[in-house]
Structure 1
Amino acid sequence: MHSWATVAAVGLLASGAAAQNMLRFACSQLVVDRIDPLVNPGQRYTPHLHQIVGGNSFNLTMDINNHDLAAKSTCTSCSFVQDLSNYWTAVMFFKAKNGTYKRVPQVGNGGPQGQLINKGGLDIYYIPSGKVTAFKPGFRMLAGNAANTDNSKVTKGNICHRCWTSTNDNTFVGGAPCTGSDTVDIPQDTKCKMIRQTIIFPTCWDGKNLDSPDHKSHVAYSGTGASGGGSCPSSHPVKLPQIMYELMWNVSSFMDKSIWPDSGNALMYSMNLGGAAAHGDYVFGWKGDSLQKAMDKNCNLNKDCPAAGLTYQAPEKYNACNVKQQAPEDVEGWLKALPMGEMAIKA
Structure 2
Amino acid sequence: MQWATLAAAALFAQNVAAQGSMLRFACSQLVVERVDPLVNPGMKFTPHLHQIVGGNAFNITMDPEADLFAKSSCTSCSFKQDTSNYWTAVMFFKNKAGQYKRVPQTGNGGPQGKLFNDGGLDIYYIPSGKTTAFKKGFRMLAGAAGNTDSSKVKLSNICHRCWTSPNEGTFVGGAPCSGTDTVAIPADTKCKMIRQTIIFPTCWDGKNLDSPNHQDHVAYGQGSGANGGGACPSTHPVKLPQIMYELMWNVTDMSNKADWPTDGSNPFVYSMNIGGSAAHGDYVFGWKDNSLQLAMDNNCNLNGDCPKAGLTKQADSVYSACKKPQQAVESVDGWLKAMPLGEMAIKA
Q: So what's the TM-score if we normalise by structure 1?
A: 0.95
Question: Quick check: 29-38 or 19-28, which moved more?
Answer: 19-28
Aligned ranges 1:272-287 → 2 under 5 Å:
272-287=273-288
Q: Tell whether the 8 Å contact from 1:44 to 1:326 is kept in structure 2 after alignment.
A: yes
One-letter code of the match for 2:161? R
One-letter code of the match for 2:314? Q
Tell me the secondary structure at the aligned position of residue 317 of structure 2. Answer: helix
Aligned ranges 1:56-67 → 2 under 5 Å:
56-65=56-65, 67=66
Tell me the alpha carbon deviations over residues 287-339 of structure 1, each in whole angstroms, 9 at most, x when there is no partner.
Answer: 00000000000000000001111000010000000000000011000001001
Tell me the alpha carbon deviations over residues 248-273 of structure 1, each in whole angstroms, 9 at most, x when there is no partner.
Answer: 00000112211100122200000000
Aligned-pair identity (%): 75
Matched, 1:203 2:197: no
Tell me the secondary structure at the aligned position of residue 317 of structure 1. Answer: helix
Tell me the alpha carbon deviations over residues 82-104 of structure 1, each in whole angstroms, 9 at most, x when there is no partner.
Answer: 00000000000000000100000
> 1:130 maps to what in 2?
129
Matched, 1:216 2:215: yes
One-letter code of the match for 1:315? D
Q: Tell whether the 8 Å contact from 1:164 to 1:196 is kept in structure 2 after alignment.
A: yes
CA distance in 2, matches of 1:271, 1:82: 32
Q: Tell whether the 8 Å contact from 2:34 to 2:50 is kept in structure 1 after alignment.
A: yes
Number of corresponding residues: 342
CA distance in 1, matches of 2:5, 2:171: 13
Tell me the alpha carbon deviations over residues 126-173 of structure 1, each in whole angstroms, 9 at most, x when there is no partner.
Answer: 000011000000000000000000011000000000001122111111
Tell me the alpha carbon deviations over residues 195-239 of structure 1, each in whole angstroms, 9 at most, x when there is no partner.
Answer: 000000000000000000000000000032000011111111110
The runs of at least 4 aligned residues of structure 1 exceeding 2 Å deviation read 5-20
Q: Tell whether the 8 Å contact from 2:133 to 2:241 is kept in structure 1 after alignment.
A: yes
Matched, 1:97 2:115: no
Tell me the secondary structure at the aligned position of residue 244 of structure 1. Answer: strand
Structure 1 unmatched runs, 5+: none
One-letter code of the match for 1:239? K
CA distance in 2, matches of 1:16, 1:236: 24
Q: Tell whether the 8 Å contact from 2:16 to 2:126 is kept in structure 1 after alignment.
A: no
One-letter code of the match for 1:41? P
> 1:80 maps to what in 2?
79
Closer, same or farther in 2 for the Cα pair 1:243/1:345, shift >3 Å?
A: same
Tell me the secondary structure at the aligned position of residue 336 of structure 1. Answer: strand
Closer, same or farther in 2 for the Cα pair 1:156/1:12, shift >3 Å?
A: closer
Tell me the secondary structure at the aligned position of residue 53 of structure 2. Answer: strand
Matched, 1:26 2:26: yes
Q: Tell whether the 8 Å contact from 2:9 to 2:174 is kept in structure 1 after alignment.
A: no
CA distance in 2, matches of 1:224, 1:213: 26
One-letter code of the match for 1:296? D
Aligned ranges 1:161-310 → 2 under 5 Å:
161-222=160-221, 223-263=223-263, 264-310=265-311
One-letter code of the match for 1:92? M
CA root-mean-square deviation: 1.9
One-letter code of the match for 2:278? A
Closer, same or farther in 2 for the Cα pair 1:159/1:187, shift >3 Å?
A: same
CA distance in 2, matches of 1:174, 1:93: 24
CA distance in 2, matches of 1:331, 1:226: 33
> 2:323 maps to what in 1?
322
One-letter code of the match for 1:252? T
Q: Tell whether the 8 Å contact from 2:5 to 2:173 is kept in structure 1 after alignment.
A: no
CA distance in 2, matches of 1:26, 1:10: 19
Tell me the alpha carbon deviations over residues 76-123 of structure 1, each in whole angstroms, 9 at most, x when there is no partner.
Answer: 000000000000000000000001000000000000000000000100
Tell me the secondary structure at the aligned position of residue 276 of structure 1. Answer: helix
Matched, 1:40 2:40: yes
> 1:335 maps to what in 2?
336
One-letter code of the match for 1:63? D
Q: So what's the TM-score if we normalise by structure 2?
A: 0.95
CA distance in 2, matches of 1:169, 1:163: 12
